């Protein structure tokens, strides 16, 4: 959203209403999810949510 400043674009109500719950859910997930010790599990934590979020937004 900071990249919108040079373009002189303002976020709308829909953008803000999508960002706020997403941030709250991300904070709750980080707080509740255990910190993995194994490197493979850390990579899974990094790579799995991206395609899941993409599939959920279809």
pLDDT along the chain (58 residues), means of 10: 84 88 90 92 92 87
Show the domain range for 50.
2-56
Tally the C-alpha atoms within 13 A of residue 44's C-alpha that lie toward its C-beta.
8
Amino acid 28: pLDDT: 93
Amino acid 47: pLDDT: 94
Do 7 and 21 meet the contact criterion of CB atoms below 8 Å apart? Answer: no
Amino acid 1: pLDDT: 74
Amino acid 11: pLDDT: 84
Amino acid 40: pLDDT: 96
Helix axes of 39-47 and 49-56: crossing angle, nearest 10 degrees: 20
Amino acid 41: pLDDT: 94
**Domains: count for the chain:** 1
Amino acid 9: pLDDT: 86
């Amino acid at each position: 959203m900071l990249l919108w400043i040079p373009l002189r674009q303002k976020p709308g109500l829909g953008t803000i209403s999508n960002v706020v719950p997403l941030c709250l859910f991300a904070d709750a997930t980080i707080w509740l999810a255990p910190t993995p010790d194994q490197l493979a599990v850390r990579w899974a934590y990094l790579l799995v949510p991206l395609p899941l979020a993409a599939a959920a937004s279809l």
